[in-house]
Amino acid sequence: MKRIWIMGKVRNLDLKDTKPFEDSVNDDLANFNGKNLKGVFKVELSCAQKVQFKWTVSTSKPDTPLEMPEFVSWLITGECDGFQPAYGYMLPRFPGFEYSINTDDFAAIYKRNSNYYKASKFKKANIMYSNFTGLMMSIDYYY
């Protein structure tokens, strides 16, 4: 059992049955920021210590290498509808303007928030890809 901080909540992930975890995140995704995103969240386990999270969302924006759009980062943090994580980017908010976030910087902030919200400790979070159609994040946990 792993405790994962994702979409603004710490959730329990049973490594033998990931479906309840996926369903919980997909329910939140469907109601995310009132946008009713057409998307899918999937957990992929490569071993007991490595968990990959994959979001696919429908948009029509171009890809941006090495940086992720701010709204895509919200899929991980749940940063909207009044929720602000303990640690985050201090970006000014201007209506209609989208920011990009360095993926390495975001992974470091994600780890800091995971520790703050008392999720399971892990070695490294890695954004494997991120673009306007979704993202994939890999987390390496301690034994």
pLDDT at 132: 63
pTM: 0.77
Rounded to the nearest integer, the mean pLDDT of the chain is 76
Sequence-distant contacts of 87-92: CB under 8 A, at least 24 apart: 87/112, 87/113, 87/116, 88/113
Per the structure, the complete domain to which residue 97 belongs is given by 2-141
What is the domain count for the chain?
1
- Both structure tokens of 91: 């970006």
d(CA 82, CA 135): 23
Q: Torsions phi, psi of 110, nearest 5?
A: -60, -45
Q: What is the dihedral of CA 115, 119, 53, 134, to 10 degrees?
A: -50
Percentage of residues of the chain with pLDDT beyond 70: 66
The per-residue pLDDT for range 89-128, each reduced to its tens digit, is 756 666 666 667 777 888 888 899 999 999 999 888 888 7
Model confidence at 62, in pLDDT bands (50, 70, 90)? very low
**What's the mean pLDDT in 62-84?**
66
